[in-house]
Amino acid sequence: MAKIDSILAIDIGGSSLKIGEFSYPDDGKITLEQFAYAEYDQEILDNEGLKEAFSIVYHRLLEEKHFSTRHVRLSLSGQAAFIRLAKLPPIGDKESQVHHIVEYEARQTVPFPMNEVIWDYQLLQHDLGQPEKESNEDDEDDEDENKEEEGVGSGDMEAIFIVIKSDFVEGLAEIIEASGKEIISIEVAPTACFNAARANGVGVAESEMILNIGGCCSTLIFSDSGRIFVRTIPIAGNAVTQQIAKEFKIPFADAEELKRRHGFVALGGAYEEPDSEVAATVSKIVRNVMTRLHGEINRSVNVYRSQHDGKKPNKMYVSGGSSVMEFTLRFFNEKLRIPVEYFNAFSATKIADTVDKNELTDLAHMFIEVIGMGLRHSTECPIEISLFPDSIKKTRELNAKKPYFYASCVSLLLCLIITLWGVERRLVYDKQRVKVASVEVKRTTKMVKDVKRAIGKLNYEKSQYGSALDIIKMRGRWLRVMEDLQRVIPDRVWLTSITGMTDAESQGASATSRSSRSSRSRESSPDSMFGDEGGMGGGRKTAAAISKRTISWLKLEGHSLILDNDELLVEILRKRLKDSKIFTDDEDSIIDEEFKGNQGKDNIRYFSLRVQLKEPIEQ
């Protein structure tokens, strides 16, 4: 992560809120620009009560101090977290399976469902020397006088994992994010304190302890040549206040004020008691609580040495709001028989000239975790566990995608605008084309109407002259027929009768006996075809009989002069009829009906033929 110019370190304790604003000049040493401290109004807080109290105090400090830094590093009280140090089995070359091993250890140890917590771990590799035997002359350490320690060997690996309820972290993080700040890391107070201790050289070469006595709990941290062991002890300043309130039967707030005014650790033994009976009683209560805390410290040391193969601490540093009661250092020095002193973490930082150093001196023992978070931002720290909630990660991912989302929305909007513009332009164009087409359609429709009107008029005119034209055509047809007959009739052959017949009449005539027809034949001269009984006269009589009929056949009756060959003239007539343009040339279109031989002394022969017209004549 790229370093930024400044951060805001916020330590949310169980009973107070500490804030420090750090800047990072080019010389590399962090500078404390300003700080803020405030206690919560409530007495003893659960998680929900802590959220409400933190929100009130946090917003008040932001208004008072006007912190301009946007990026925040956050630490939470160790009381709200579950911290364990687990020794890992030998893994050989299977380092990729470390996460699964640690997760299995966490599932076996954590007393909460894993889907309700946030957890993280860090591997700690250490190298222990030969085991040592230690003895302690204190009565409470008698059980460890003859205990032998066995080293875990070179290259042993441990994992410290921290678990915290996700809803608790998310609630606090939402309050900070809602104020316009951006959280870049979340950890717990013990790891921040450990980082500050290592930055100041605590526990680098030997085993040392840091005891942070807070309001709701005390945290004991072992710094042993790169190793860390943390234990949270539920004995702290509030335990003293509760005992005072119970002893004097007063409210918690009055007991807290009494503790701060008269509280100190009674020296015990042959020391003279103070003149004030209240102060004497309070000091004894404080000593009793500190004695219980000392017992938990001894128990923690034994657990660390026996279960984690740790070394006996050679020194202890004290910090925290409840550690400033008088004779606290002397009490632990006498009990633990090791050097005990207050922990000063400010040696690793610079303090800006604008900071009130007198006020900071009174509060320096409570800003160890704040210093640790400031150091983590500028240097690589031994413990860099992150407890980011998934909700914040998803929100960050969503915020990172927002520019692309907005760009996509703008692109989509532009596409819609262009599409609408194109549709509008096309609509205008289509309207123009429709307008032009409408004009053309109207003009064409008018022309069609005019054409239809003209066609109707033409048809009317045709109908007026059709009958006359048909009559004229029919008149010419008979003339052409007569002219063609006149042309094809050979010399010495003359017609006596021409009769028009329909197809039905022609078929009926074929069935009539030839003998019945012979009685109608008579002698005739060649000129008789134009007389009253034949030729045109016969035609008039026939036309009257077959009015409004379709004439397809002509029946020809006549005589031929017999010369040397009695059939020659008739055959010539038949051939000429086939070659005619008026009559059909099929074999079945010329039918011989009747022939007669010589009659008397005349050399004349009678004949009767039926001839089919190519174009029938309506009559």
pLDDT in tens, 88-143: 777 665 666 777 888 887 788 777 788 888 989 888 866 544 444 444 434 444 44
Q: Which residues pair with 50 in a beta bridge?
A: none
φ/ψ of 231, rounded to 5, equals -140, 130
The count of other CB atoms within 10 Å of the CB of residue 415 is 10
pLDDT band at 608 (very low <50, low <70, confident <90, very high): confident
**CATH class as words, domain 489-618:** alpha beta
Predicted pLDDT at 55: 92
In order, the DSSP letters of 384-399 are ------HHHHHHHHHH
Rounded distance, CA 363 to CA 189, Å? 16
Q: Which of 32-36, 392-396, 433-437 has the lowest mean pLDDT?
A: 392-396
Residue-level pLDDT at 508: 75
- pLDDT, average across residues 409-430: 92
Q: What is the pLDDT of residues 183-236, one digit of tens each?
A: 999 999 999 999 999 999 898 889 999 999 988 899 999 998 888 999 999 999
Say if residues 402 and 224 touch (Cβ distance below 8 Å): no
**For residue 542, what pLDDT is reported?**
43
The Cα 88–Cα 91 span in angstroms is 8
> How high is the pLDDT of residue 531?
36
Place 467 in a pLDDT band, splitting at 50, 70 and 90: confident
Q: Which two tokens stand for residue 517?
A: 């027809």
6-388 has which CATH code?
Answer: 3.30.420.40
> Quick one: average pLDDT of 64-79?
91
Answer yes or no: is pLDDT of 593 > 70.
Answer: no
Asked if 70 and 54 touch (Cβ cutoff 8 Å), the reply is no
- What is the reported pLDDT for 550? 84
Identity at 450, one-letter amino acid code: D
Residue 462 identity (one-letter amino acid): K
Q: Sort 509 into a burial class: Cβ within 10 Å, 0-12 / 13-18 / 19+.
A: middle
pLDDT at 95: 62
Domain coordinates in residue numbering, the chain: 6-388, 489-618
Residue 512: predicted pLDDT: 61
Q: Residue 8: pLDDT above 90?
A: yes
Kindly tell me the burial class for residue 528, based on how many C-beta atoms sit within 10 Å of its own C-beta (0-12, 13-18, 19 or more).
buried
Q: Give the Cα separation of 220 and 232 in Å (integer).
A: 6
Pairing type for strands 493-501 and 81-87 reads: unpaired
Contact criterion met (CB below 8 Å) for 389 and 118: yes
Q: Which amino acid is at 518?
A: S
> Each residue of 505-524: pLDDT tens digit?
877 776 664 444 444 433 33
Q: Of 2-11, 225-234, 242-251, which gets the smallest average pLDDT?
A: 2-11
* Amino acid identity at 349: T
Counting Cα atoms < 13 Å in the Cβ hemisphere of 387 gives 32
Averaged confidence pLDDT in the chain = 81
pTM exceeds cut of 0.85: no
